[in-house]
Amino acid sequence: MPRKSKTRAKPTTGGLFKTTAKIVFGFILLSVLWVLVYAVVPPPVTLTMLFDANGITKDWTSLSHIDRTMVRAAIAAEDGKFCSHDGFDREAIEQAIERNAKGKRKRGGSTISQQTAKNVFLWQGSGWTRYIRKVPEVWFTFLIETIWGKRRIMEVYLNVAETGVGTYGVEAGAQRYFKHGAARLTPQEAARIAAILPLPKKREAISPSGFTRRYGNSIRARIGVVGRDGLDACIYK
């Protein structure tokens, strides 16, 4: 008798849905656990650090040992509404989209919370990978805002942000540029570190010129505004 050929059953819509649901649930569970761990444990390394051909120089420093001037400089430079938004500055995002659509100098609308989520849990990059990253970036931003709170977000941000070639965190940056720790930064020093954060491989904190110098001076002036208006109050309750 001729042998009957076996036919492989085609996956059903229900089976595909169950598989997708398991993947999504697994991602949610693991991401929440990951964020919970980093709420108390310093992130040991990030993807940006791992793929940095220049090596890694970093020195984790608690926020209590980072000069408040540095915190104010970061807020002045990167996110003036840090204490008042929920992780997303919608007005800044809309302005960035409008500005970029007009072909002006590219400017992002990311908050410090979004940058922290990207730096710690995701990857850098532009082009199409940037758009793929946006969905998990929103999710991780929501998680750290909910689980960590503002103080922890700022602490992690100031420890993982790239502050120079192969240099990560403001402590390592302060040691590199000014030969002392982040616990006693002057307004000018803090402003210079903040000024190079967007492009740490291309900007200089020592004897800056052109745009970097002007931008640093602008940040230094705004440090006083952050202090005067209590824009860092959520961190120092």
Q: How much is the pLDDT for 105?
A: 57
pLDDT tens digits, 164-211: 999 999 999 999 999 999 999 999 999 999 999 988 888 989 988 899
- C-beta of residue 61 within 8 angstroms of C-beta of residue 159: yes
Residue for token pair 């040992």: 65
Structural domain includes residue 111: yes
How far the first Cα of the chain sits from its last, in Å, is 84
Q: How much is the pLDDT for 83?
A: 97
- The CATH number of whichever domain residue 101 belongs to comes to 1.10.3810.10
Q: Over 106-119, what HEC string results?
A: CCCCCCHHHHHHHH
Cα gap 125→165, rounded to integer Å: 17
Angle at the Cα of 205 from the Cα atoms of 57 and 220, rounded to 5 degrees: 120
Residue for token pair 């409008």: 98
The residue range of the domain holding 98 is 53-228
Structural domain includes residue 39: no
Domain count, the chain: 1
Nearest partner of 153 among 228, 54, 63, judged by Cα = 63
Structural domain includes residue 201: yes
pLDDT tens digits, 45-65: 999 999 999 999 999 999 999
Structural domain includes residue 33: no
**Position 7: which residue type?**
T
Structural domain includes residue 166: yes
Structural domain includes residue 160: yes
User: Is residue 7 predicted with pLDDT exceeding 60?
Assistant: no
Structural domain includes residue 233: no
Structural domain includes residue 31: no
pLDDT tens digits, 105-150: 555 679 999 999 999 999 887 777 777 888 999 999 999 999 999 9
Q: In sequence order, what E strands does the chain have?
A: 57-58, 162-164, 167-168
- C-beta of residue 130 within 8 angstroms of C-beta of residue 76: no
